[in-house]
Structure 1
Amino acid sequence: MDLRENEMMSAHTSLKVGGPSRFFAKAESTADLAEARRFAQEQKIPCFVVGKGTNLLVSDKGFRGLIVQLGRAYSNLENLEGAKIRVGAATPLARLARETINQGFAGMHKLAGIPGSLGGAIYMNAGAYGQEISQTCIEVESVDSEGIVRTRAVADCDFGYRHSIFQELAAAGKGETITAATFQLTEASTMGKSSADLESEMQECMAKRKASQPLNMPNAGSTFKRLSAGATETPTQVAPGYYIEQAGLKGYRIGGAEVSTLHANFIVNASGATAKDIKELSEFVQAKVAEKFGIELKREIILLGEF
């Protein structure tokens, strides 16, 4: 296990903010994960596993614990029989989408623009343009705090909108590290499509993303979760960005953090933002939308450390 001290988390998060983690480790095996857990227990400190840090806001004060990042050994793809594929948790979604397109498999190609790895996508049931990671997933492998490897069928993962059983386990202090997942994809030819057709659909989604999202600025994706219901006057409008924009908050700034002028549900690091700036701006947005529409926005971004 590669163990470091006082690793700046600004180098490991897409928002480019965050202070030092007291300890930081790269895990390349189940043995490494077990060693990391034991180390954290011996030091009496919390342990948190990250992927590519694309949905994470780490405090400027850092994290007084151990952050573990899965290494290259967990970034592998294995073809199984019948258009099935087993994927390591550290595999970037962009690579996964590309590989499946090249093999003529449909079911993952619209996820290409999501900036993150498979483990994080499973944890939050990531999705875009009508595809969610859970739609093709058939089982998930994980390691619990005792080092026991567990395999769950998709029916036992409690997938919902931006939700999985792994969030519940973490909240209950029984967090598990997602290490791999297996997917049942569909051969494009059985749908009357080719790899070129899948490529075209992927490029269309990428073009929409580029046109509507601030991809040129550090961000963590959607700041707030989609609503279950809108305001009284707009009950079917469930997009947080709509209400944020209607509250006049596009372009609003606190310090270096800004509500994107391109997509109001994105808070971007516009110029040297701190984690405090970003957190305070998200809370300001929540308060203004609640005041104007009576709607409670819930953060999609995970906060780590003391703010």
Structure 2
Amino acid sequence: MQILENEPMNKHTSFKVGGPARFFVKAESVDDLKEALAMARENRLPHFILGNGTNLLVSDKGYEGVVITLAGEFSEIADMGKGAFKAGAAVPLGRFARAALKQGYAGIHKLAGIPGTLGGAIYMNAGAYGQEIGTHCTQVVTLDEAGNIRERSASECAFGYRQSIFQKSGAGGAQAETILSATFQLESANTACESPEQTVARLEAELQECMAKRKATQPLNMPNAGSTFKRMERGSADMPQQVAPGYYIEQAGLKGYRIGGAEVSTLHANFIVNAGGATAKDILDLSDYVKAAVAKKFGVELQREIIMLGEF
């Protein structure tokens, strides 16, 4: 187990901002993880489980707690046959999606462009292009606050739009359960009129189409944390079916609007980017400004999708 003190979090987040974490721990086994959680309890510090940091905004002041990142045994994928897979929480989602695709299994292949880890994807029920990670999940294994291994069925995970039961907090704001791994049952995409090789090629073509759309519509060349605001259940009174936050942000004339080094992307209005030298406060202030402007113009209340860590 590796322990670093006062580790700059701008090295570990896609926004490239954030002050130091009091402790930064790399846990490569369940025993390492238990030790890291015990260290947090003994020092009366909160803890946070970090994936790839691609949906996270860390305060400029840093995080007076223990940031834990998983590696080692949490980075393994097991092919259990007949479309059943088990993947560790630290497995990159793209790696898992491609591993299943190469075996001719569909259901999560369009998620390969999402830059997070499997644990983070389960935590927020990540989705894209009509697919969600929770749809084919059958079981999630976690470590609870008491140090017990827990197996949750898919129904117990309470997957919904960008949410799961794992988003609930424990004492002191800590995550109540740490995701260790998840099991999936995927369906074969093979049809009677094509060979297994043709099936894989077709799935790969679908994936590449999604990747091309992502590249054409998202500011992938600038530091960002994905969609800033969640898709809404309903739109404004004038357009009740409009559920895309980017539509309202763009119609409010906010594309390209800046506060400090933070900017509403000129490519996709629901992305805030670090246009150079942004601070976490710049990004937070800009998201607050966007929320207020959209609410004033359309009466629509946007909800942030990005996780906030530390004191702002």
TM over 0.5: yes
% identity of equivalent residues: 63
Q: Higher mean Cα deviation, 165-174 or 10-19? A: 165-174
Structure 2 residue matching 1:5: 3-state secondary structure: strand
Q: Residue in 1 aligned with 2:71? A: 71
Normalised by the size of structure 2, how large is the TM-score? 0.96
Alignment of 1:271-282 (within 5 A): 271-282=276-287
Contact 2:145 2:177 (C-alpha < 8 Å) held by counterparts: yes
Structure 1 residue matching 2:273: 3-state secondary structure: strand
Contact 1:157 1:164 (C-alpha < 8 Å) held by counterparts: yes
Structure 1 residue matching 2:21: 3-state secondary structure: strand
Superposed displacement of residue 7, structure 1: 0.4
Q: Residue in 2 aligned with 1:44? A: 44
Q: Residue in 2 aligned with 1:296? A: 301
Superposed displacement of residue 81, structure 1: 2.9
Q: Does 1:20 align with 2:25?
A: no
Q: Distance in 1 between matches of 2:224 and 2:147?
A: 33
Q: Residue in 2 aligned with 1:260? A: 265
Cα distance per residue 1:144-203 (max 9 Å; x no partner):
112111111101101000010001245875611101000101112148660000000000
Q: Does 1:176 align with 2:181?
A: no
Q: Higher mean Cα deviation, 194-203 or 99-108? A: 99-108
Contact 1:33 1:147 (C-alpha < 8 Å) held by counterparts: no
Q: Structure 2 counterpart of 1:268, which letter?
A: V
Q: Residue in 2 aligned with 1:97? A: 97
Q: Distance in 1 between matches of 2:254 and 2:170?
A: 33
Q: 2:219 aligns with which of 206, 214, 220?
A: 214
Q: Distance in 2 between matches of 1:297 and 1:20?
A: 29
Superposed displacement of residue 47, structure 1: 0.8
Q: Residue in 2 aligned with 1:244? A: 249
Pick closer, same or farther for the CA change 1:35–1:192 going to 2, 3 Å: farther
Contact 1:34 1:146 (C-alpha < 8 Å) held by counterparts: no
Normalised by the size of structure 1, how large is the TM-score? 0.97
Pick closer, same or farther for the CA change 1:260–1:52 going to 2, 3 Å: same
Q: Distance in 1 between matches of 2:159 and 2:137?
A: 10
Q: Does 1:53 align with 2:53?
A: yes
Q: Residue in 1 aligned with 2:161? A: 161
Q: Distance in 2 between matches of 1:149 and 1:63?
A: 27
Q: Structure 2 counterpart of 1:48, which letter?
A: F
Q: Structure 1 counterpart of 2:131, which letter?
A: Q
Contact 1:4 1:24 (C-alpha < 8 Å) held by counterparts: yes
Structure 1: gaps spanning 5 or more residues: none
Pick closer, same or farther for the CA change 1:64–1:191 going to 2, 3 Å: farther
Deviating above 6 A after TM superposition, structure 1's stretches of 4 or more consecutive aligned residues are none
Q: Does 1:4 align with 2:43?
A: no
Structure 2 residue matching 1:22: 3-state secondary structure: strand
Q: Distance in 1 between matches of 2:26 and 2:18?
A: 18
RMSD over aligned Cα atoms: 1.3
Structure 1 residue matching 2:81: 3-state secondary structure: coil
Q: Structure 1 counterpart of 2:212, which letter?
A: A
Q: Does 1:229 align with 2:234?
A: yes
Superposed displacement of residue 73, structure 1: 2.1
Contact 1:30 1:147 (C-alpha < 8 Å) held by counterparts: no
Q: Distance in 2 between matches of 1:98 and 1:92?
A: 10
Cα distance per residue 1:118-153 (max 9 Å; x no partner):
000000000000000011111111101121111111
Superposed displacement of residue 99, structure 1: 1.0
Pick closer, same or farther for the CA change 1:287–1:94 going to 2, 3 Å: same
Q: Higher mean Cα deviation, 61-70 or 101-110? A: 101-110
Pick closer, same or farther for the CA change 1:37–1:285 going to 2, 3 Å: same
Equivalences, count: 307
Q: Distance in 1 between matches of 2:193 and 2:137?
A: 23
Q: Distance in 2 between matches of 1:197 and 1:81?
A: 21
Structure 2: gaps spanning 5 or more residues: none
